[in-house]
Structure 1
């Protein structure tokens, strides 16, 4: 136990090294330690009760809600440390909800969150995680600001707009789509000098053509979920120029056949196109090398050309770019159940394509650990800055646990 405490002190010293004030370094370490201690609730008051000599509730509350330390600085140092430790294969993007009873907290609104599986009263945070098969870590966050909180939006709610000052929302913060917040965080990650080998996201991001085009403009590889309604042409399709009669504007080359939905295309390929793939060991007992059951399903991989006006406008020439369409079609299902689009190389083996696309499971694992054990959703303050400070330090606590696991002897007991 003493060794873990020493490791935490060294980790916190590295993380908060740039803090000019000694009291900020002290309370930063204390807050992270409070998140790691056993206890059902991880808000300031119960943590202060567990922290002994560091249990100054007022100091902890000031540090997390209003102390002027830069969360981005801490996240950058955290990202450098975890990039070295994990050796990430992907940057994973998703969002999670923080359910709220009242409406006084920054950016609270009735909106959809997968946390509840419905529209409800909540805040939504968009996060970016470094991930490999063995480990992952949240390294960046944005608090989504609904249109009702933006004075420049036609959907602005005067009551919420009037509350911006009390919540400490910066004047320049406006309503931005989640996929744009994700691109902003990717740009910030690149500005820290980190490589982004692959971007993985679900259909909430992959369905946004502008998001995929943004990744391609940055020369980034991606494997993103898409809905079954996204339209494509088969990879072998080629545009043709209709015959010109010599009068009027000359015709332009276009694809002779109408674009199909990805579901229609995969169903047309048929069950026989599906191939079995096992991509990782799960958590249930089985026959894998570690005694765990292998994750297994059947997949159809097709080369396609995504359609749509935005794609055509962004493409030089009449031929649309070719991409991977990966569809999961389990043996017991009458039709495919999930679809992904990727610009990974055309010669990539199916097993590799599936494994990389499936890395998104790591972000669900991170959310579960941070919410169940580390108090991600327990912040009781109402400020914009406080929420960002809290999620940053929860990410730090989670990263410390991850580092302990990575360095732990398999025979040792689990770290605190």
Structure 2
């Protein structure tokens, strides 16, 4: 989406975001959440907080970084609200759930779960994080309804490293290709079928 399209669709976007704004607490944090989403929609090759802030008029990099890093909002509650909305508005017996594993390249070693696995996204073994995303695909549209960051065994076994990175207690994952299918039936049960 380019800036012109974003301006044209801003009322629609604001209406959508109004449903989730209370999850972000104070009005200042709600504003940061809105600007962050706008920046993500503008796309670009790199989606760092700095690039997102630079793409949005009036957005300050440090303020947005503080929001992303330290703001006390519950991402799981936001996703639960989204799943509820999808269930109410898009419930479709022919809908399909898809789980997609994606690699995010990383330069350092401090990002949660970073290691050097093979990444199909990158097409090679490289330093990255691996995430699995659950998508809901129906006649009315498609959206992501859940996500999970794969935590390699080295991370799961290293409590000081997890604590330093802010990984919640009890976070663990099995091998990414096996746990993704066990994960969705208990977390999301709309009237739809698995894609495989």
TM-score (norm. length: structure 2): 0.83
Give the one of 65, 70, 73 matched to 1:69: 73
Residue 46 of structure 1 pairs with residue 45 of structure 2: no
What residue in structure 2 maps to residue 171 of structure 1?
A: 169
**Residues 89 and 175 of structure 1: is their aligned pair in 2 closer, same or farther, counting only changes over 3 Å?**
closer
1:24 offset after TM fit, Å?
Answer: 2.2
**In 1, Cα distance between equivalents of 2:68 and 2:171:** 20
Contact 2:134 2:147 in 1 (8 A): yes
Which runs of 5 or more structure 2 residues have no equivalent in the other structure? Answer: none
Deviation of 1:27 (Å)? 1.2
Is 1:141 the counterpart of 2:139 in the alignment? no
Counterpart for residue 114 of structure 2? 108
Asked whether the 8 Å contact 1:125–1:141 carries over to 2, the reply is yes
Deviations 1:23-42 (A, max 9, x none): 22211111101112364432
**Structure 1 equivalent of residue 13 of structure 2:** 8
Q: Report if aligned partners of 1:15, 1:74 keep a CA contact under 8 Å in 2.
A: yes
Aligned to 1:187: 186
Instruction: State the structure with more CA Rg.
Output: 1
CA deviation after TM superposition for structure 1 residue 73, in Å: 1.2
Any idea what SS the aligned residue of 1:46 has? Answer: helix
Structure 1: runs of 5 or more not aligned: 152-159, 201-223, 225-416
The aligned residue for residue 97 of structure 1 is 103
Q: Is the Cα contact below 8 Å between 1:127 and 1:182 reproduced in 2?
A: no
Render the CA deviation track for 1:58-112: whole Å, top value 9, x for unaligned: 2211221221211111112222334424746111112111122222211011212
> Per the alignment, in what secondary structure is the counterpart of residue 109 of structure 2?
coil
Q: Residue 128 of structure 1 contacts residue 182 of structure 1 at CA under 8 Å; is this kept in 2?
A: no
1:190-214 per-position Cα deviation (integer Å, ceiling 9, x unaligned) = 3xxxx142112xxxxxxxxxxxxxx
Tell me, in whole angstroms, the C-alpha distance in 1 between the residues paired with 2:151 and 2:17. Answer: 30
1:3 CA displacement: 4.4
Query: 1:121-270 residue pairs with structure 2 within 5 A?
Result: 121-132=127-138, 135-151=141-157, 161-178=159-176, 179-190=178-189, 195-200=190-195, 224=196
1:132 and 1:116 map into 2 onto residues whose CA distance is: 28
Which of 120, 125, 136 lines up with 2:126 in the alignment? 120
Match of 1:56 among 52, 57, 60: 60
In structure 1, C-alpha distance between the alignment counterparts of 2:20 and 2:90, rounded to whole Å: 14
**Pairwise CA RMSD of aligned residues?**
2.3
1:32 to 12, 30, 37: 37
1:20 counterpart (21, 25, 40): 25
Shift, 1:182, TM fit = 4.0
1:165 deviation in Å?
Answer: 2.0
Q: TM-score, normalising length from structure 1?
A: 0.42
Contact 1:110 1:119 in 2 (8 A): yes
